[in-house]
Structure 1
Amino acid sequence: MSDKSLFIYDGECPFCNHFAQLIELKSSLPEFEIIDGRKNLALLTQLYNQGYDLNKGAILISDENIMHGADAINWICSEIKEPSDSLLEVLRIIFTSNRMTNFLFPFLLWGRRFSLTLKGKVWHPVSGNHQFF
């Protein structure tokens, strides 16, 4: 990774939050910034207007490329070379396979939606009706 990469996740989702913390603290990815999309609604709205909906998965911007959902998770896990956490190692092994990532990703989305519902939070932090600029 030559340029800084930006990972945008849903900070209200406990699974997303834990994954982001693991990546930030244990992955040793250089030039990698992690932000909570719900705390950055202007950026999230701009990405939504480009077709990237946080409700359909985390968003990764790297080298001017935007990856979304399963592709973002797969890319991150493929970039982790020597994780210093056993859970992160398991996730890396599972999610470096495109086939496994695409198979499991709908279950991850379901878990996110279920946990947000239990917390009384909306699934869509932004929609087409929000305009910040």
Structure 2
Amino acid sequence: MSAPRNSRLHEPSSRRLRLVYDGECPMCRRYVRWQRIREEVGELELIDARQESEARRELTAMDVDLDQGFALQVGERWYHGSEALHRLSLLGTRSGVFNRLMYRLFASPGRTARLYPLLKKCRSALLKTLGKGPIDNLDRK
């Protein structure tokens, strides 16, 4: 007997999913802790941008400034900033108040692009208040 044609829909994806975020930012840490990815999408690997890692080296080589936003890898493609937030909201579940709210806010790429600068300003102000420096993965002075 052969497997049903749609049986692959229930198998976890083998696509690589990595999220590089600021581990020193309480807002960022809370977001990644509460964000839930749909099971069929796969497992999301969380990587602190302030720690040395393969992902950080890869992004630095691509000239991606991690102080300007987190980065999401889906398969072989990297998304940065508002694009990463938009993609992450599409990959997320719709269960729970937080995930439903994130989907409603960031499912539209245009709305996400408009809101993202405000989120970056909030992050910068929070880090400054906490006395935390920039990630500075590009070593720009």
Aligned residue identity for 2:111:
M
Change (3 A) 1:112 1:41: farther
Q: Which amino acid aligns with 2:61?
A: N
Which structure has the higher relative contact order (CA within 8 Å, separation 6+)?
A: 1
Structure 1 distance, partners of 2:55, 2:93, is 29
Unaligned runs of 5+ in 1: none
Structure 1 residue 31: Cα displacement: 2.2
Equivalent in the alignment of 2:126: 115
Structure 1 residue 96 corresponds to structure 2 residue 107: yes
Paired residue type of 1:99: G
CA distance 1:120–1:45, change in 2 (3 Å): farther
Q: How far 1:20 sits from its partner (Å)?
A: 0.6
How many angstroms apart in 2 are the aligned matches of 1:126 and 1:48?
6
Determine helix, strand or coil for the equivalent of 1:39. Answer: coil
Preserved CA contact (<8 Å) 2:49 2:135: no
- Give the one of 72, 95, 98 matched to 2:84: 72
Cα distance per residue 1:26-68 (max 9 Å; x no partner): 4445221111111235642441231211111000111100100
Report the number of matched residues: 126
Distance apart, 1:90 and its partner CA? 0.4
Question: In the TM superposition, what are the counterparts of 1:1-133 in structure 2 within 5 Å?
Answer: 1-23=13-35, 26-29=36-39, 30-40=42-52, 43-83=55-95, 85-128=96-139
Q: Which amino acid aligns with 2:66?
A: L
User: Aligned partners of 1:45, 1:122: CA distance in 2, in Å?
Assistant: 19
Computing the radius of gyration from Cα coordinates, the structure with the larger value is: 2
- Please list every run of 5 or more consecutive structure 2 residues that lacks an aligned counterpart in the other structure: 1-12
Q: 2:7 aligns to what? A: none
8 A Cα contact 2:66 2:136, kept in partner: yes
The CA RMSD measured in Å over matched residues stands at 1.9
> Which TM-score applies when normalising by structure 1?
0.84
3-state SS of paired residue (1:99): helix
Task: Give SS of 1:15's match.
Answer: helix
